[in-house]
Amino acid sequence: MSDNTATGAEAAAGREVPTDFIREAIKEDLRSGRFDRVHTRFPPEPNAYLHIGHAKAVWIDYGIALEFGGLFNLRFDDTNPLKEEQEFVDAIIEDVRWLGADWGDRLFFASDYFEQMYDWAVDLIKKGKAYVCDLSAEEVSATRGTLTEPGIESPYRNRSVEENLDLFARMRAGEFADGSRTLRAKIDMASPNVLMRDPIMYRILHTSHHRQGDKWCIYPTYDWAHGLEDSIEGVTHSLCSQEYEIHRPLYDWFLDELGIYHPRQIEFARLNMTYTVMSKRRFIELVNGGHVSGYDDPRLPTLAGLRRRGVTPEAIRDFCQKIGVAKRDSLVDVAIFEDCVREDLNRRAPRAMAVLDPIKVVLTNYPEGQTEEMDLVNNPEDPSTGTRRVPFGRELYIEREDFREEPPPKYYRLAPGREVRLRSAYFIRCDEVVKDAEGNVVELRCTYDPATRGGNAPDGRKVKATIHWLNVPTAVPAEIRLYDHLFLKPDPDDVAPGQDFTANLNPESLRVVRGFVEPGLSHAPAGARYQFERVGYFCADPDTEPGTPVFNRTATLRDTWAKIEKRGAG
RNA sequence: UGCCGGAUAGCUCAAUUGGCAGAGCGGCUGACUCUGGAUCAGCAGGUUCUAGGUUCGAGCCCUAGUCCGGCAGCCA
């Protein structure tokens, strides 16, 4: 694909690519001859939207394939028609493509392997390694034993191969009701690993499948299906999250009993991040509870939400690389993610001026009716982006925060009698503060120094601060959505007894503000990203309309003054 | 409680496979600056979970224990 192969490019350029226990294991497999190539896969179930934890998995899978010159498949693990929908298939494809992973022509569906899986199940029955069990779900669970006690063998465990073959064929033919029978692997009801106690391979489900329609009424379970899918596709390294570690003996058992090509499963720790939640169930609760607007709410760590917020795939990839891969559980500080976002956007986002909370400034010595245009640098990080012209006049908006009637120590911005620079325009001095009946500051009357046009004083005098501004008649009203952490605590589950995680919801995770932006942004297309100078990174929302733009705050700028002031207050 | 896995700086990860414990982020300090942004420089003195053992030498190996996570869906 286009520019999203930096991981491979870095590897090719010999730049240092961080290693981890998985990459080391793969190198060892290549050295020992266990495998002579690398082939990975990302196997989502199409039953939910992807989140940044999935992005980590994608970048482990795809990144490793790239680094080792191997292949990467996108495969939908669609073995449960009760939960899966085409809508999710489409959304996941969009998300993975947006992330920048390239599966070439290898887009696969586990359901396309159902026939082969069925044949292999028949093989296992013939070997006496699988049997049709008539126990109900409750009975299966009751006879499974506990973590400390062995299970009890099913009374149907020793049916003849002929009877099993007949019953299994009739299961497929639709002769039996849902839940009335299952196909089980005959392993060991006394195994200390509960998953090995004759696990279910097929269940009867008279339900249409989003791709297979009504072709099947028996569906394979994850444990039975997953290794087969990997085997069929020739995957070498089946990388998954740690919850599957205990499933590995089963994964290996099926492949060994079948005697078919045997990929290696390796598990890594899933991603957790501070001030957010990372599970499908939690997302549903938040959406249904009206706490967020939908799965693409910019406060959610879903890929759709992050995209809407203005986060780039490159920032996500950089983040995945920085957090590394390990086996221990971890809680990643969201500050690391935000830092990746800033680093990326700082490089690429064009600058613009926006005033979120305006206060009017009148330049008393600026001729009435006069206007002019100032040249502003589009991106100091990238001179090739050139400059733009921004109208300037007698009446301006500046940020309310950029003025203090009684400036505290170390406050460098505008105050009565003080001089500051209007970015790329003029030095101005505040002469007079106009207030309303309640004593609120409504207007600042200032004088400008015509000799400082462009922002420099010929006499060499300095100002301590540069602030941003907007020309009142040409300022474009805009809706600006200021997002903050969704939760007040690093761990949303840190609640008093009897409360649930919603008790930690941040009531100010979204603040909508009516501000102004420079005229060039009145028709910003949805998805366009900017740095509003001295304020933060913003992205035009899909709700934006020509002439009345809507912007989402992607991230704030680091604000050292805020830190100084907070320290003073604390 | 049985089995599986984990434990290194506030956080996330390293440590050439047994050879003087490092990095990024955060935090703090300073420099610089037409974004108090960006950038640059400095600051971590860590019982490598604990206690034993092997060894000239242990974060790496062995033993016992502690704590944390996962597993008893016909979910994945």
pLDDT per residue as tens digits for the range A489-502: 888 988 887 889 99
Q: How far apart are CA A379 and CA A488, in angstroms?
A: 34
Confidence bin at A560 (pLDDT 50/70/90): confident
CA of A325 to C1' of B24 (A): 14
CA of A402 to C1' of B13 (A): 40
Handedness of CA A319, A44, A201, A117 (dihedral sign): negative
Whether residue A4 is predicted with pLDDT greater than 70 in this model: the reply is no
Whether residue A382 is predicted with pLDDT greater than 60 in this model: the reply is yes
pLDDT score, position A440: 95
* Count of CA atoms in the C-beta half-sphere (13 A) of A436: 6
Strands A71-76 and A107-109: parallel
CA of A25 to C1' of B21 (A): 24
Scanning every strand, the nucleotide with its C1' closest to A145's CA turns out to be B72
Average pLDDT over every residue of A360-366:
98
pTM of the model: 0.94
What are the structure tokens assigned to A82, written together? 């009760």
Average pLDDT over every residue of A183-206:
97
Whether residue A569 is predicted with pLDDT greater than 80 in this model: the reply is no
Scanning every strand, the nucleotide with its C1' closest to A137's CA turns out to be B74
CA of A532 to C1' of B8 (A): 41
Predicted confidence (pLDDT) per residue in A115-167, tens digit: 999 999 999 999 999 999 999 999 999 999 999 999 999 999 999 999 999 99
Q: How far apart are CA A471 and CA A476, in angstroms?
A: 10
pLDDT score, position A558: 84
pLDDT score, position A567: 65
- A174-205: b (≥16 Cβ within 10 Å) or e: eebeeeebbbbbbbebebeeebbbbbbbbbbb
Average pLDDT over every residue of A282-296:
96
Average pLDDT over every residue of A366-383:
94
pLDDT, chain A, mean: 93
Nearest residue: Cα versus C1' of B39? A381
pLDDT score, position A349: 95
Q: Which residues pair with A108 in a beta bridge?
A: A75
Predicted confidence (pLDDT) per residue in A30-61, tens digit: 988 999 999 999 999 999 999 999 999 999 99
Q: Annotated catalytic sites of A, by residue?
A: 45, 270, 280
Identify the residue whose tokens are 């089963």: A250
Nearest residue: Cα versus C1' of B68? A329
In strand B, which positions have an atom below 7 A from any protein CB? 1-8, 10-15, 17, 24-28, 34-39, 68-76
H or E segment to which residue A288 belongs: helix A280-288
pLDDT score, position A568: 64
pLDDT above 70 covers what percent of chain A? Answer: 96
pLDDT score, position A160: 98
Residue type, A237: H
Q: How far apart are CA A249 and CA A327, in angstroms?
A: 18
**What 8-state DSSP symbol labels residue A70?**
-
Average pLDDT over every residue of A534-555:
96
Scanning every strand, the nucleotide with its C1' closest to A225's CA turns out to be B76
Scanning every strand, the nucleotide with its C1' closest to A224's CA turns out to be B76
Alpha-carbon torsion angle A444, A445, A449, A452, nearest 10: 20
pLDDT score, position A14: 33
Confidence bin at A7 (pLDDT 50/70/90): very low
Q: How far apart are CA A245 and CA A165, in angstroms?
A: 32
Predicted confidence (pLDDT) per residue in A407-458, tens digit: 988 888 999 999 999 999 999 999 999 999 999 999 999 999 999 999 999 9
Q: How far apart are CA A174 and CA A206, in angstroms?
A: 8
CA of A280 to C1' of B75 (A): 13
